[in-house]
Amino acid sequence: MLVRNVDGISDLAIDPASVITEVLCPAIRRHHVTVLLEIRTTDLSRLIQHLHGTHTLIYKQNIAVEHTGKKGHGIAVIASNVCSDFMAVWRVAEDFQCVWITCKKEMFGLSNDVILGAVYMRPQSNQFTVDEVREHYSNFSDELACASQVTPNVLLCGDFNAKIVRSRMHMRVL
């Protein structure tokens, strides 16, 4: 599984020979499941085109027009054609960027299905206060509890931007 914060998928007019075709697509083709974070667009046609039919888009977040191109927005889940029939969107969090994908037990050879949680949590900033960060993590905790009621097999991935200790000497990141 590949999980990558791509920090935006550039426009063809801006970047014709882009990182998409030269770096990202070959990396995706080497993995059965890929989670892309901070895609910043809802137009993944160029990315999918350069996968040459080997992979299927399972989920892409619909980004509001006012957030298109801005940092901190967008999740996509892509699966190889070998796996895509075993995967389906189970739930999309309303309050923050999180999608839950059900993976049939046969995909992993397990006795229960697996739920994949793909998450992007915005870091604290002037526009996103500590209280808002806490609220998002509280909502995420509720989402996780809900998913764990469905199956004991929960796989989390993403960019949590979780700063857990801050001192003058160092910062330890979860």
pLDDT tens for 40-79 read 888 888 889 889 999 999 999 988 888 777 788 899 999 9
For residue 172, pLDDT over 70 is answered with no
For residue 14, pLDDT over 80 is answered with no
The most confident of the ranges 9-13, 72-76, 107-111, 124-128 is 107-111
Phi, psi of 4 (to 5 degrees): -145, 135
Coil, helix or strand for 107?
Answer: helix
Secondary structure of 51-62 as H, E, C letters: CCCCEEEEEECC
For residue 168, pLDDT over 60 is answered with no
* Mean pLDDT, rounded, for 142-170: 83
Binning pLDDT at 50, 70 and 90, where does residue 110 land? very high
Domains assigned to the chain: 2-173 (3.60.10.10)
Residues 6+ apart with CB under 8 A from 133: 121, 122, 123, 124
Higher per-residue pLDDT: 13 or 141: 141
Report how far residue 6's alpha carbon sits from residue 10's, in angstroms, rounded to the nearest whole number: 10
* Mean pLDDT, rounded, for 15-39: 85
For residue 174, pLDDT over 50 is answered with no
* Mean pLDDT, rounded, for 86-99: 93
Task: Look over the chain and give the mean of its residue pLDDT values, rounded to a whole number.
Answer: 86
Q: Which residue has the tokens 């040459």?
A: 52
Q: Where is average pLDDT lowest: 7-16, 44-53, 79-88, 144-153?
A: 7-16
Residues 6+ apart with CB under 8 A from 60: 39, 42, 44, 74, 75, 76, 77
pLDDT at position 147: 96
pTM check: above 0.75: yes
For residue 10, pLDDT over 80 is answered with no
